[in-house]
Every structure is written in structure tokens, then in C-alpha cells.
Amino acid sequence: MTETPLFLRALAGEDTATAPVWFMRQAGRYLPEYMALKEKHGFWTMMREPELAIEVTLQPIRRLGVDAAILFSDIMTPLPDMGVEVAFKPGPVVAEPLRSRAAIEALRVPEQGEIAPFVGTILKGLRAASPVPVVGFAGAPFTLGCYLVEGAGSKDYGRMRGLMKSDPETAQMLFDKLATLTARYLCMQVEAGAQAVQLFDSWAGLLDAETYRRFAAPANRRILEAVGAMGVPRIMLAVDAAHLWTEIAALPCEAVSVDWRHPLSVARKAFGARAIQGNLDPAELLGAGETIDAAVDRVLHEGLGGAHIFNLGHGIMKETAPDMALRAIRRAQAFDRRNAP
Ligand code: CP3
């Protein structure tokens, strides 16, 4: 019998002897082997061609020896199946942003079998090829709505937040459609082999607690419940969202990803027995070796006292030297949580 992998034990709430390690955006532009493939094929093709997506997912596993493999894809991947045209420059750009009720009414809600079927093929291949557990993911309705309504990345996603204030009924329709899409999309990923899922509500921190409770929390709950029924652990992420921790703690999930602004020891109090994931500042990896070591140790100490998955507070920066990422990962994996000084 094979032993349950470290990453899945931590997700099950076990206070493991060492913390499993992976990094958000661990496949990407800081890796020369990624850039070589991207120059040849382009981002969309890399996400759609199973052979390429599997290769790119496994690149950081080989080079860095991380304890989990996250599907190489994007939160925007299922949106073309709703009838939305998306490009990457390099962030997502929506050809026709949803700026009217009619545009939101026109959004198609595809059946499970119609949503990015290539992602299912990629996950099946990954399960066969990956030496570590495979993580599926999706964007949460609010964060997807930010890109759909705004049309591109923005500092405050004022158009999306404005829609929620000025026309709550239309906003609700958008949340409902995106929740249905995302629940189906993640269930498909689990059927194809994802062993855990992460729901990225990256920009939820822009919302006040009441607005989060009204729109985002019920949509996220629907998605998490649908995936939970399939028996895989669920990780919830929201950046700069400590003011929403009460709401997030009420959601059905096994783990919460925490950014670098708040110590993990404080997060642990908010999330009780759940696993905590995080929270090295990605900027630390731009430093010289010694400052990285100290920062890694600080995070690991803060993470003691319950299940901890060592990760960054948000995605790895493209300026990161792969050797510095490797140094942080090795150090975290060697940290003995039972005999921490
Ligand atoms: O973590 C991984 O290694 C898996 C791959 C992954 C990508 N996007 C690949 C990607 C994941 C998990 C995502 C999720 C995603 N995409 C989120 C949620 C995570 C977060 O950061 O909060 C969001 C908000 C997006 C939207 C998005 N896609 C942005 C903002 C960008 C630009 C990123 C940048 O660094 O400029 C993208 C494009 C994108 N997604 C790239 C990658 C590797 C860069 C594309 C390129 O190589 O040109």
C-alpha cells in the first residue's frame, strides 16, 4: 500500500512533521524551460495542447521538487465556452466586456461535458505522469466577474463593484451563471483526476464584508459544496482579505490560503482546525540567499500549531531566479516542525 502523500495529509488537517511545499504560479515565466516553450507555441496553445500543458505543469516538479502539481491553465479558461472571447496580453483581455444586462443575459451556461474538455484530458494525463498530487483550480465568480465586466486587469475593478451596487439584480444573474459554470467545471476536473482544488477569489479583498456576504459568499459556497460532495479537499484563496476572514471561515473548505500581510499564527486563530496555506512574500525571493532563509524560517515558525502548507502569499514573480525558489523550497522541506527551535 502506498502512503498518503504529505500534501494530502496536511489538507486532511494533519499537523505533519514537515510542511508540504508548492508555489502559486510555479509554472511560468521565471523558468527558462517555460519561456522556451512559450516562444514556440504561445500561452493559449500551451494550455490547450495536453502534451504541452502536462510538460509545463511538470517542469517545476522536476526542477524544484515541490510536493504538489497545479494544473497549468488559467482562471479564464472556461469562459470561451460561455461565448466570451479572451486573449492574454499577458494578463487576460476580454474582447467585448459585459457592460449591459443584455450582455450578461446572453452568457451561455454550458453543461459539464462542454466546458474546456481539453482540461479533462490534461488532468488524466497528469495523474498518470505526476509523482505528486495534482491540484485543479478555478476562478471564483467575483474574480471572474472582475475581468468580464472590466475587460482587463484593473486596480479596483470599479465597474464590477459598481454593477453590484447600482444593479444588484443583474449582478446576481452574473454570479449565478458563473457559480453554475464553476461548480460544473471543478466537478469535471475532479472526475478527470484532480486530487484537490483551489478556488481563486483573488480580488475578493476589494469587497466589504456585507457585499461579500450578499454576492460572493453564497456563490462560493455553492461551488465548494458541489466539489465537496465529490470528496476532494478544497482550498480557498482571497488576497488582502483579512476583513473577510469571518465570512471565509464560514465557507465549506479544508484549507485557506493566506497572503503575506498577516501572520499565519493570526490566521490560524480565525480558521480553527483547517489547514493554513502560505504565506512567504513573493518579493522575498528576489533577495539574496540569507534574507530568504530567514524569511522562510519566520513563515514556518508562524505556521506551527496545526496543519501548514508552505506556499507564497500570491503568485511567484517573473523576476525570480529559479535557484532562489529552489533554495526556499529545500529549506522549507527540511524544517522539522516537531523539533522547531
Ligand atoms: O500556478 C500555476 O503554476 C498554474 C497556472 C496559473 C496561471 N494562472 C497561469 C498563467 C494559475 C493558477 C492562474 C490563475 C490566475 N490567472 C489567477 C488567480 C491567481 C492569482 O494570481 O490570484 C488570476 C487572477 C489570473 C488572471 C491572469 N492570467 C493574470 C493576472 C495574468 C497575467 C499574469 C502575469 O504574471 O502577468 C494571466 C496570464 C498567465 N496565467 C500567465 C501564466 C503562466 C502568464 C502568461 C505568459 O506566460 O505570458
What are 53-64's pLDDT values in tens digits? 999 999 999 999
Dihedral sign from CA coordinates of 121, 200, 143, 215: positive
How far apart are the CA of 297 and the centre of ligand 1, in A?
Answer: 27
> Residue 141 — φ and ψ, nearest 5°?
-55, -45
3-class DSSP state for residue 341?
coil
pLDDT in tens, 110-149: 999 999 999 999 999 999 999 999 999 999 999 999 999 9
**How many helices (H) and strands (E) are present in the chain, helices listed first?**
15, 9
Whether residue 339 is preceded by a cis peptide bond, meaning omega within 30 degrees of 0, is no
Mean pLDDT of 237-258: 98
For residue 200 and ligand 1, the question of a CB distance below 6 A is answered with yes
Task: Share the mean pLDDT of the chain.
Answer: 97
How far apart are the CA of 31 and the centre of ligand 1, in A?
Answer: 14
pLDDT at residue number 215:
98
Closest C-alpha to ligand 1, atom 7 = 74
How far apart are the CA of 194 and the centre of ligand 1, in A?
Answer: 19
User: What does the alpha-carbon distance between residue 69 and residue 340 come to, in Å, rounded to a whole number?
Assistant: 27
For residue 92 and ligand 1, the question of a CB distance below 6 A is answered with yes
Task: Break the chain into its structural domains and give their ranges.
Answer: 1-31+264-341, 71-257
237 CA closest ligand 1 atom index: 22
User: What does the alpha-carbon distance between residue 320 and residue 331 come to, in Å, rounded to a whole number?
Assistant: 17
For residue 134 and ligand 1, the question of a CB distance below 6 A is answered with no
User: What does the alpha-carbon distance between residue 179 and residue 109 come to, in Å, rounded to a whole number?
Assistant: 10
pLDDT at residue number 1:
57
pLDDT in tens, 162-208: 999 999 999 999 999 999 999 999 999 999 999 999 999 999 999 99
How far apart are the CA of 25 and the centre of ligand 1, in A?
Answer: 7
pLDDT band at 341 (very low <50, low <70, confident <90, very high): confident
For residue 137 and ligand 1, the question of a CB distance below 6 A is answered with yes
For residue 327 and ligand 1, the question of a CB distance below 6 A is answered with no
E-state strands within 46-157? 69-70, 86-88, 92-94, 134-139
| Ligand 1 pocket mutation pick from 44, 72, 74, 154 by most atoms within 8 angstroms of CB | 74
Strand partners, 275: 255
pLDDT at residue number 288:
87
Spacing of C-alpha 233 from chain mean position: 13
198 CA closest ligand 1 atom index: 12
* Pairing of the two strands 134-139 and 196-200: parallel
How far apart are the CA of 121 and the centre of ligand 1, in A?
Answer: 20
pLDDT at residue number 2:
75
pTM: 0.97
How far apart are the CA of 76 and the centre of ligand 1, in A?
Answer: 9
For residue 91 and ligand 1, the question of a CB distance below 6 A is answered with yes
**For residue 95, what are the CA distances in angstroms to 46, 149, 150, 182?**
21, 11, 11, 21
Domain 71-257, what fold? TIM Barrel (3.20.20)
pLDDT band at 232 (very low <50, low <70, confident <90, very high): very high
Question: Which residues are within 8 A (CB) of 320 and not within 5 positions of it... i.e. 6 or more apart?
Answer: 30, 282, 285, 286
